[in-house]
Structure 1
Amino acid sequence: MTAEAVVTSPFAGSADDGERPLRIALLTYKGNPFCGGQGVYVRHLSRELVRLGHSVEVIGAQPYPVLDTGATLTELPSLDLYRSPDPFRTPGRDEYRDWIDALEVATMWTGGFPEPLTFSLRARRHLRERAGEFDVIHDNQTLGYGLLGDLGAPLVTTIHHPITVDRKLDLDAAQGRVKRASVRRWYAFTRMQGRVARKLPSVLTVSGSSKQEIGDHLGVQDERIHVVHIGADTDLWSPDPSVAEVPGRIVTTSSADVPLKGLVFLVEALAKLRTEQPDAHLVVVGKRAEQGPVARAIETYGLQDAVRFVKGITDAELVDLVRSAQVACVPSLYEGFSLPAAEAMATGTPLVATTGGAIPEVTGTDGETCLAVPPGDAGALAAALGRMLGDPQLRARVGAAGRERVLTRFTWAAAAKGTAAHYRAAIEQAARARRAR
């Protein structure tokens, strides 16, 4: 399968008009859109499903989802052990409610990540108490043991990409036996996710690349995995000529020291680029790491005044930041889809991106809708950024073509229609199984 291939399910994009509205429970153990792509997915998919006429109840844990008008939120609280400003906290005695809370703390104390399992157990209890209230249950990559068996409605699960990919990259970056052992313990939940995924009747994913990875890493049968592309909010992420372009500005969205995001290679590329284009500078949407490879690279190359991190800005401020950049960049080693790429393209900002994972499936052809470079290659990244910064005609052409690609292929309205069609297929499949019994 080529990265550029457009892979769609047999139901994706089918009309939803005239069908009975569905009652949908959308589960998310980590739903805040400022914490990553899963939260963005929940926010925009729920809004567009409501616009199609469906009833959507999002059931989530901390950090709670941010939802648009229409969808409702039911809070299913965890102990919130990783909250800011006291992550890995020890809860007080009066905070424990049941054995699931005790399991959550014990898993954290032994170096594991408990939330997928413990959220699934709480969700199972909650859904069984409300059996008959929903037509379909949609799990957003929890993949916990609690979601196996009868939940009172058919289950559809989205896997954005297998977390085993993150695990491998983190292990490759870990130095020393102690650090590698810690990484293995943290990612122990991925064994559970693989076991659960292989038992699921219907799996949705967001790209052809992710479909391949889910089969390879998790052992899910190909015929049970269906691709429904996600997209950008093209009303919000749109061009605005009134926003002044800042010479030399490069913008990226990245968690500073997550190896998968490749930010350290972008910092190295910036150092190379500034020898020829001294006004080049980088704005990173994400939290600054005070220690680690990125912090060391910034200090080593003397880029303290050329790299700025921003966090906690509004949607409107974020869009204007991207609009103000001469180039947007996605330096990731791997992505299951890359929402930042689609969103930047939707603003008409020209994009430089790697070919890691599903990124080319989103960004399109090198030289037409983006400039593409191999992942982990700082030299190639510097050359592409320099080419884009130095050629206003290229920026205008690539930016316009990128927005057109998003408008025709990657919108949330299309994602909602394709997803709703899969809900109906799952409901029919469950009905046939009942009749057979």
Structure 2
Amino acid sequence: MTSLRIALLSYRSKPHSGGQGIYVRHLSRELAALGHRVEVISGPPLPELDEGVALTVLPSLDLYREPDPFRTPKREEFTSAIDVLEWLAMCTGAFPEPLTFSLRAWRHLHRRRGDFDVIHDNQCLGYGLLPLARLGTPLVATIHHPITVDRDLELAAAPDWKRRASLRRWYAFTRMQARVARRIPHLTTVSQASRTEIVEAFGVTPDQLSVIGVGVDTDTFRPGRGDHTGPARIVSVASADVPLKGLPELIEAVAKLRAERDVELVVVGSARPDGPAAQAITRLGLTGAIRFVSGISDDELADLFRSATVAVVPSRYEGFSLPAVEAMACGAPLVVTTAGALPEVAGPDGLAALHVPPGDAGALAAAVGRLLDDPELRRRLGAEGRRRAVEHFTWRRTAIRTAEWYERAITKESENRC
């Protein structure tokens, strides 16, 4: 395979929360290991990258950074019209980062015409990508899942019209993403379930979309003896405290389980003080039984999965679910909902995981309780989960298939120009 010069664009690449930063880090590392030259071009929060992968930072106002999200920038921070646009859009309640990052990417890359063989956008889908396609370098994009799914679930859970109006303004960028996606001929996504959702939500044609699953570092995420003693431990990962992740249902299931068993829940993520998870914890009196941890490394996450009596993915939708694969790679017995790509990732019910309907706290409690009471079933699911992760979901496999996809896009674009 020819060595390629790859520009990998990522508008935000938080390394330990959410799939985008994880995808950028591991895909770039494995592409470099295959002999390709990879340069990640990112706005804040910045990714953690491995040796051999270059990073170019496109500074922004970073309006959503911790610990001061929605901050007011100082006057000297405004250095361009794009900065002003970003600030004004945030002031109206919109989420401007996909648009403003794409404009900064255009400003940067049009000065570097000829430096790359392919430009790969990771879920930004901003208007600034469209002139990039006219630079003569093939433009491709990954859509992990359409953010319209997140929007619709949050709208359904909104308590009043004011909240719904605010959400519609925040998610207005999804209209831009749909328009841009329809103009990019080479798209990939991570599962057949996500492919179906993208075709329906964004109006792209099925032949635009290739399916390339993502992976797990099977050396870091591997079985071993956990050092946990005490109550049975349930572990779940929630990159955001939003209805999509199903945390309130999991918390309610824990309350049901604690009526008969000594259990604790550890959530990798954080809960908003006024969010649905915090409200459920207070309402059910579970403050001492549920712990949130965030900002942990891959090694720490793997240790946590190894310490789990049961791992749970309670989501109402997943375009793929890296946490499910990471838990399986660690040999953790797993319970997943049947939402989105989760059955596709975890395999048939009872093979590497138990399946439950999304949004059903009773079914979730019953499945977790079944595993807590059956050590042999936990052992069997854990062993099958590890086998499935190693055979189907490695970053090396993802990188090889992605490089083949690049080659097809480059060949097709070359034919179109002739």
TM-score by length of 2: 0.98
Q: Distance in 1 between matches of 2:103 and 2:276?
A: 37
Residue identity in the other structure for 2:104: R
Deviation at 1:293, TM superposition (A): 1.8
Following the alignment from structure 1 to structure 2, what is the Cα–Cα distance between the partners of residues 22 and 216?
Answer: 33
Give the match for residue 180 of structure 1.
164
- Counterpart of 2:282 in structure 1 is 299
The reply on whether 1:427 has 2:410 as its aligned counterpart is yes
**What residue is the counterpart of 1:3 in the other structure?**
none
1:72 aligns with 2:76: no
* Other-structure match for 2:77: 95
**Cα distance change, pair 242–219 in 1 and its aligned pair in 2 (3 A):** closer
- Per the alignment, residue 48 of structure 1 pairs with 30
Q: Which amino acid aligns with 1:20?
A: T
CA contact (8 A) 2:225 2:307 kept: no
Q: Find the partner of 2:108 among 82, 101, 126.
A: 126
2-structure distance, mates of 1:86, 1:293: 21
Report if aligned partners of 1:124, 1:151 keep a CA contact under 8 Å in 2.
Answer: no
Which amino acid in 2 is paired with 1:238? R
The residue number in structure 2 matching 1:160 is 144
Partner residue of 1:59 out of 30, 35, 41? 41
Aligned to 1:376: 359
Q: Distance in 1 between matches of 2:60 and 2:191?
A: 31
The letter of the residue matching 2:323 is: P
CA distance in 1, matches of 2:230, 2:367: 18
* Residue deviations 1:197-231 (CA, integer Å, cap 9, x gap): 01111000000000000100000000110000111
SS in 2 for 1:126: helix
User: Bigger shift: 378-387 or 35-44?
Assistant: 35-44
Distance 1:245 1:228 in 2: 39
What residue is the counterpart of 1:275 in the other structure?
A: 259
1:231 equivalent in structure 2: 215
Indicate yes or no: 2:312 matched with 1:326: no
Name the counterpart of 1:348.
Answer: 331
Q: Percent identity?
A: 61
Task: Give the equivalent residue in structure 2 for 1:189.
Answer: 173
Q: Distance in 1 between matches of 2:263 and 2:174?
A: 40
Matched residues in 2 for 1:363 and 1:29: separation? Answer: 29
Greater relative contact order structure (CA < 8 Å, 6+ sep):
1
Q: Which residue of 1 aligns with 2:68?
A: 86
- 1:115 aligned residue (92, 97, 104): 97
Q: How many residues align?
A: 416
Conservation of the 8 A alpha-carbon contact between 1:81 and 1:87? yes
SS in 1 for 2:345: helix
CA–CA distance in 1 between the matches of 2:135 and 2:45?
A: 24
Amino acid of the structure 2 residue aligned with 1:420 = A
Structure 2's unaligned 5+ residue stretches are none
In the alignment, the residues of structure 2 paired with residue 32 and residue 256 of structure 1 have an alpha-carbon distance, to the nearest angstrom, of 12
User: Aligned match of 1:289 in 252, 264, 272?
Assistant: 272
Q: 2: CA distance between counterparts of 1:414 and 1:246?
A: 39
